[in-house]
Amino acid sequence: MKVRSLLAVALLAPTVAFAAPSSSKSSSSSQAKASAAAPASQAAPASQYGGLSVGGFLGYETDDVSGVALRLDGELPFKALSPQVNMSWVGSIGYSHLTESIGFADVTTNMIKVVPSARFTLPINPQFDVFGDVGLGIAYVSANIDIHPPFGGGASFSDSTFNIMMRFGAGAWFHVNPQLRVGAMLEFDPIFGDYGFSGANGVTGSSQNTFNILAGAMYRL
C-alpha cells in the first residue's frame, strides 16, 4: 500500500512542476496584454477635438470698393466622399474695410461676413492639397459717403444693411507638419440686395460681386 502511494506521488510530481510555470506564463501574458492596451487608451484624448482646425487669413477684397480683408476660420472634417475627395464643414467670420474715391465723393464700407460652407479637399501628395468651397451666409454692410465739392460745402450720408451672400472659392494647402498647414485661396463672394444703403442705387446701393485673395494658416487642435 505504501509502495503504491509512493508511486502515485512520483508520477504526479512532474505534472505539478510543469503546470506551475504554465500558469505563471499565462499570468505574465495577461499582464503584458493589459500593459500593451494601456497606451492605446491613454492616447485617446489626442483626438478629443475630432480633427478641428482653426486659422486666420489676411487678404485683399475688390469690386466697386476695395481694401483689406481679415478672416477667422474653423474647419471640422465630415466624411470621405471617395478615396480621393474629403468633405469638411467650415465656419468663417470675416471683416473687410473697403474704400473708393469717385469724383468729389469718398466711399467707405465696413463689412462683417458670417458664412458657413462646405469644403471639398483633394490630396495631391502628403504635403500638398487643393480644395474648393461652396457656402451661403450673411453680410452686414455699414456704408458712408462723404461729398466735398471744390467750391465749398459738402455733405455726408451713412446707412447699413443686412445682405444675403454666397461664396465660391478655390485654394491650396501646404502641410508644414501634421498640425500646421499654410495656404492661399481665391474667392468670389456675390452679395445680394442693397449694399449699405437701403433702397438706394449707385456705387453702394446695389448688389456687389466681390473677389477676395487671401493667404493664411490653419492649425489642427
Residue 133 belongs to a domain with what CATH number?
A: 2.40.160.20
Q: Quote the domain boundaries for residue 18.
A: 2-44
- In this structure, are 86 and 189 located in the same domain? yes
- In this structure, are 39 and 53 located in the same domain? no
- In this structure, are 141 and 95 located in the same domain? yes
How confident is the model at residue 24, as a pLDDT?
A: 42
Q: Which of 68, 131, 132 is nearest to 95 (CA)?
A: 68
How confident is the model at residue 178, as a pLDDT?
A: 93
pLDDT > 90 fraction of the chain, expressed in percent and rounded: 62
Tell me the per-residue pLDDT of 96-127, one tens digit each, with 9 for 90 and over: 999 998 888 899 999 999 999 999 999 999 99
- In this structure, are 16 and 108 located in the same domain? no
From the CB of residue 23, how many other CB atoms can be counted at a distance below 10 Å? 9
Check pLDDT > 90 for residue 23: no
- pLDDT higher at 46 or 60: 60
Measured at the CA of 60, the angle between CA 59 and CA 66, to 5 degrees, comes to 155
Predicted structure pTM score: 0.73
pLDDT > 70 fraction of the chain, expressed in percent and rounded: 75
How confident is the model at residue 152, as a pLDDT?
A: 75
From the CB of residue 165, how many other CB atoms can be counted at a distance below 10 Å? 22
- In this structure, are 140 and 214 located in the same domain? yes
Per the prediction, the chain carries an average pLDDT of 81
Check pLDDT > 70 for residue 200: no
User: Phi-psi region for residue 51, left (φ > 0), alpha (ψ -120 to 50) or beta?
Assistant: left
Count of structural domains, the chain? 2
- In this structure, are 110 and 10 located in the same domain? no
Mean pLDDT of 63-91: 95
> Alpha-carbon dihedral of residues 87, 88, 92, 98, nearest 10 degrees?
-20
